[in-house]
Amino acid sequence: MSVWSFDYRPHRRFVSPAEAKPQIWRLCFGLVLGAGLFLVLSQLIFGSLFRVMTPATVEAILADGQTGQTTAGMLIVLLQLGLLTVSAGLVAFMVHKRSPITLIGDLTQARRQFVVVTLAMVLLTAVLWILPPWDFGDPIQRNMATGRWLLLLPVALIAVLIQTSAEEILFRGYIQQQLAAKFKSPLVWMVLPAVLFGLGHYMPSSAGSNAWTIALWATVFGVLMADLTARSGTLGPAMAVHFVNNVSALVLVSVPDEMSGLALFVLPFGLGDEAQMAAWLPVDFVMILVSWLVARLAIRA
């Protein structure tokens, strides 16, 4: 089958568990309930941890968690987002009367597709690092000693996997499934979750005039991940692309002003450097398109 095929028959199997309770009011209620559960779980977990810490330590951790510029702050950001998985699973069970596992699809197939696409993405990333250009206009800067980075690497990979899986389970799992159970048009179940995903990446205080460009980039990324999910019938490929992409952006080379607490290197410019960021966003956009094509090729194997 061609890499350009838009045969979405596997998506029907992926969506079928949502068809028993497809009402839009359930989806809306589920999103509100999920947001509430996320906040309650965050408060319970982090509130319990903070109670055994000194006020000064709590204040420092909360400050770090705003930007992710330290290791502790970055881990807090990533692991807290992982609670989206728990809240989405609870909503699926309580509101839609279905197993949380159905948000991922067939687990055996999802696992196999995740491994295949991850290997393909790692190979692509290695090739992109080898090929010119070898910098971003100026040399990238070391952010962390190699020895410390290697010690943190297993924890960093697990944290990024938790974060990216949670986002895929919420947007391409829960929201996409429930919309597709009610609406047949991809313009609804593919685009609407992607728009919500893009709005979550709108950061005018950090990105300035590039904020809408970054939000648009995230929206297109969401559409491409929705396509991979519909094409494969599981969240495996989307999770893999999202995981490797975020490892590249958060663990290998990050921006210096935000989300750099786990990165080995940082870029020579930050989100606030509007001109330089604007010049490189199209390159990043092309890399995402290439990643999508590589993932489509991988799931044909």
Q: Would you list the domain boundaries of the chain?
A: 9-300
**Measured distance CA(124)–CA(29) in Å, rounded:** 41
**Measured distance CA(115)–CA(299) in Å, rounded:** 10
**Measured distance CA(37)–CA(28) in Å, rounded:** 14
Whether the per-residue pLDDT at 132 is higher than 70: the answer is no
pLDDT class of 270 with cuts at 50, 70, 90: confident
User: Would you give the DSSP letter of residue 21?
Assistant: S
For the stretch 67-93, pLDDT in tens is 777 888 889 889 999 999 999 999 999
What do you get for the CA distance between the two ends of the chain, in Å?
Answer: 10
Task: Extract the tokens encoding 149.
Answer: 């980075």
Give which of 90, 75, 77, 82 is closest to 32, Cα–Cα.
90
The residue ranking higher by pLDDT, 30 or 255, is 30
Whether the per-residue pLDDT at 110 is higher than 90: the answer is yes
Helix or strand (DSSP H, E) at 4: none
**Measured distance CA(146)–CA(282) in Å, rounded:** 30
DSSP for 214-225, written as a single string: HHHHHHHHHHHH
pLDDT class of 158 with cuts at 50, 70, 90: very high
pLDDT-above-90 percentage for the chain: 63
Helix or strand (DSSP H, E) at 176: helix 176-182
DSSP for 247-275, written as a single string: HIIIIIEE-SSSS-TT-SEE-SS-TT-HH
Whether the per-residue pLDDT at 43 is higher than 60: the answer is yes
* Cα dihedral sign, 185-84-72-262: negative
